[in-house]
Structure 1
Amino acid sequence: MVALRNRNLKLFTVALAFFAITITSFLLSYTQNSMLYFRFSGPFMRFMASMRRPCNCETCISEAEISLWFDERFNYTIPPLLTKENSVISESAYKWWSHLQSERKAMDVNKAIEEMFKVIPGDNNLLVQNPYRCRTCAVVGNSGNLKDSQYGRDIDGHDFVLRMNHAPTAKFEKDVGNRTTHHFIYPESFRDLRENVSMVLIPFKVMDLQWVVSALTTGTINHTYAPVPRKIKVSKDEILVYHPEFMKYIYDNWLHRHGRYPSTGLLSVIFALHICDKVDLYGFGADSKGNWHHYWENNPSSGAFRQTGVHDGDFEAEIIGNLTSIKKIEVYKGR
């Protein structure tokens, strides 16, 4: 009887020891796994969060829920460029656009677009987002505050450098840079461009679309409301056309219908917001003395480019200020 009792006691002791070892091993394993989890879950969660972001910059322009003001205005689905795939202009947009500059005998807009895309490609690969990419844009305005700014190297360091109208770079490279990837013009503001620079035509009337065809072929159009070049030395593959729908989107969503239509500067800025992940502005606003003039002009008090009569400069400046305050863009004010 005593032997049986001792045997049962030994079995109980062994079982208790096995149970204790099992529990201890489990707790050690759980603790180690928990430490590994906490050690690696942070970076992993941050990595997964980054995969949901539209770009690889510290901040991404198209990222939502940063500013309600921005989200109410920014609509990524509106295409900035007119292409073969989105060549139909809505009736409301056409009605607004066709009254920007009057025409005596306007060709049917759909026919003009069809004829234009027989000459230029009409493709667009600028809107493809990539979570691994951080595409930077420098939008270079024409303000006199660029004089002696020494911004040239910084401007040229961007992926895309956007300029507009008559803006020269020769003799001003230290302040405005030397590179240009996209140059925004309308027929009346055309200037000769270097090779491999995309000409972005901002059309204000059907004749502007016809002018592209003429300037690349017959050269029959030499006057709209002002003289325009008969021929242009631009590769047809480098010609892009600003979409009238996008112009109206800016006028409605961003300008809230202030002025008659957006300035070339604002058209360039909102364009950049849609194609780039980070946007820096140079050459916008007055100089440090309050003068409004072009950086290549010798008379700072002329106020030339503020006296247009068709743009609401104050409201556009407010938009730029708001975009700056919510860190969607950065403005370099120069001198």
Structure 2
Amino acid sequence: MVRSRKLVLGFGTALCLLGIYVLCFNQETPLSSSKVPMKTFYHLTHKHNSDLPDSEDLLDQEEINDQSNTFSTLDSKLSVEPEPKEDSIVPNVPDVPKVPDSSDVPKSSSKSDGVGKTRTSTKGPPLPQPNADGPTEPSYIGDTYMSEILPPQTNCTDGIQRRVAETEFGRRFLKYIPVVQWHQHVTPERYQRLSKYPGTHGWGGIDYKTLVETMSFLNSSANQQMLDDWKDRRIKSECIRCAVVGNGGILKGSNKGKEIDSHHYVFRTNGAIIKGFEQDVGSRTTHYTFSTNTLMNSMRTYSGAGYKSPPKSDETRYIFLPDHDRDYLLMKAAATHTKVERGREKNKDPLMYFGEDVSAKKLKIYHPDFVRYLRNRFLRSHTMQTKFMNIYRPSTGAVMLLAALHTCDQVSAYGFMTPDFKKYSDHYFDNVYHPVGFFVNHDFRMELSLWQQLHKAGLIKLYMG
């Protein structure tokens, strides 16, 4: 009897211990991020921003699932190793010969078509840090950039480049950072440096062979400069005036079309539907910014509203925002008038997007140093301190507007978020009111604040409705 009681007691104890173990195991096993919908991603990290809008360049669910496996965690105090020197060697980079370290000193100048001089890198004035005694930068920040000295295109006495030093943005602004990349920027040294950074912020995930083959077609001064045809437009003007047009509902009924078209250059992005809305948004497009992902999403999402393809005209340039190799592959196909050779757009004909007249001289692609600089110095969101830091970037519209800030003398912005955004539908082409949404890959609260600050500083003129 005693032995039976002991056996029962021992068996019961074992069952209890097994139950406790299973319970603890289940509590400690995290959910797979690939199973969590985008809205859940958002609530995990942006609970206090639930009323903010999103743009048309959201990552689709498949892309978030693809990138979720590469997320890294970051201590809330940013207590990680400091940023290495810019040109330090990255081990195990495939197909690229190793090179010795180089310091941030000017190299011999290189010229092509009589345009510009290139230096290895530049590091701007350090930004204020909360803890001067500890590590100031986690390694993924990379606040060191290439520098390229191009001759000024105007002698505008009231241009942004001259006025910015007198504003609060003077310490953030780097005058000589290249906005777009071209074939001379691709070197083994730069590949080793930039392959450390994923997505739009570097060449991580792009194999060197694809990069070299694609960029070899961007080999003229037209590819090196954002405003490559200014000498043909200048007429009597000493200042370059640019209109940057977002797709916000604030433009509906604005009657700003003629004013927008009166600028020398007109920038648009993503689902830029023009037909039927010319009175409010204008009809010209000189620069169209997009990524392959946002282009495909726009064509799928806004086809019912009239968006069939990017704007097409003789003056239109197409500026890729490279999220990954999809963008380089589509750009190569467009430059060569061939079908996309592989990837998610395999066998797609780029001429259906950009027209029969597209050529390599009409194509540009943002420099990853420039996009990382915008993230680090203008839109440094708290999302960068979370496991979602690899998918966070400035929105496509934000990159477009800040690119204009770095290339034009005067910038007017239309259709961007203002503090009263709830009064307006998500897009100017919406037939009925649609509230705007918000997701983790952008920080629209910070972007809204930045537009207000730039407007107050006199660096942009923001249409406020």
Report TM bin, short chain. Answer: 0.7 to 0.9
Task: Output aligned runs, 1:236-247, within 5 Å.
Answer: 236-247=360-371
Match of 2:156 in 1: 56
Question: What's the counterpart of residue 242 of structure 2?
Answer: 137
* C-alpha deviation, 1:288, in angstroms: 6.0
The CA deviation at 1:212 is: 1.5
> How far 1:189 sits from its partner (Å)?
3.1
Displacement of 1:133:
2.2
Corresponding position: 1:83 with 2:182:
yes
RMSD: 3.2
- Helix, strand or coil: the match of 2:168? helix
Q: How does 1:253-268 map to 2 (within 5 A)?
A: 253-259=377-383, 260-268=392-400
What amino acid sits opposite 2:463 in the alignment? Y
Question: In structure 1, which of residues 277, 281, 302 is the aligned counterpart of residue 435 of structure 2?
Answer: 302
CA contact (8 A) 2:217 2:332 kept: yes
**Shift in Å, 1:296:** 1.2
Q: 1:228 to 1:249 in 2, by over 3 A?
A: farther
- Which secondary structure does the structure 2 equivalent of 1:163 belong to? strand
CA distance 1:247–1:258, shift in 2 (3 Å) = farther
Q: How many residues align?
A: 276
Residue 201 (structure 1) aligned with residue 320 (structure 2): yes
Q: Is the CA contact (8 Å cut-off) linking 2:245 and 2:415 kept in structure 1? A: yes
1:93–1:248 CA contact under 8 A, matched in 2: no
Q: Indicate which of 119, 140, 148 corresponds to 2:217.
A: 119
Report if aligned partners of 2:183, 2:218 keep a CA contact under 8 Å in 1.
no
1:154 aligned onto 2:154: no
| TM-superposition CA deviations, 1:261-294 (whole Å, max 9, x none) | 1101110111001110000000011566534501
Change (3 A) 1:170 1:69: same
2:158 paired with 1:73: no
More helix by share: 1
Q: Which residue of 2 aligns with 1:281?
A: 413
One-letter code of the match for 2:176?
A: T
The structural deviation recorded for 1:69 is 2.0
Alpha carbons of structure 1 residues 320 and 94: separation in structure 2 relative to 1, 3 Å: farther
Among 174, 185, 194, the alignment partner of 2:290 is 185
The CA distance in 2 between the partners of 1:71 and 1:220, in whole Å, is: 42
Q: Alpha-carbon deviation of 1:73?
A: 1.2
User: TM-score under structure 1 normalisation?
Assistant: 0.72
Shift of 1:66: 4.7
Indicate the SS of the match to 2:196.
Answer: helix
Pick closer, same or farther for the CA change 1:258–1:91 going to 2, 3 Å: farther
**TM-score, normalised via structure 2 length:** 0.53
Partner residue of 2:443?
Answer: 312
- Deviation digits for residues 179-219 of structure 1 (CA, Å, limit 9, x no counterpart): 11000011133324313210001101123212211344431
Unaligned runs of 5+ in 2: 1-151, 232-236, 296-308, 384-391
CA distance in 2, matches of 1:114, 1:90: 10
Do 1:281 and 1:332's aligned partners in 2 also have CA atoms closer than 8 Å? yes
C-alpha separation in 2, matches of 1:222 and 1:65? 44
Q: Deviations over 1:224-254 (max 9, x none)?
A: 3x89943232222211111111110101111
Q: 1:171 to 1:101 in 2, by over 3 A?
A: farther
- CA contact 2:413–2:463 (8 Å) conserved in 1: yes
Q: What does the per-residue CA deviation read over 1:131-155, in whole Å, with 9 as the maximum and x for residues that have no partner?
A: x820011000000010010000000
CA distance in 2, matches of 1:223, 1:176: 35
1:167 equivalent in structure 2: 272
Q: CA deviation at 1:126?
A: 4.0
> Conserved in 2, the CA contact under 8 Å of 1:97 and 1:248?
no
SS class of match (2:160) = coil
Shift of 1:99: 8.1
Q: Are the equivalent residues in 2 in contact too, given 1:201–1:240 (CA < 8 A)? A: yes
Q: Supply the distance in 2 between the matched residues of 1:319 and 1:178 (Cα, whole angstroms).
A: 27
How many Å separate the matches in 2 of 1:209 and 1:163? 21
Distance change >3 Å, CA 86–CA 258, structure 1 → 2 = farther
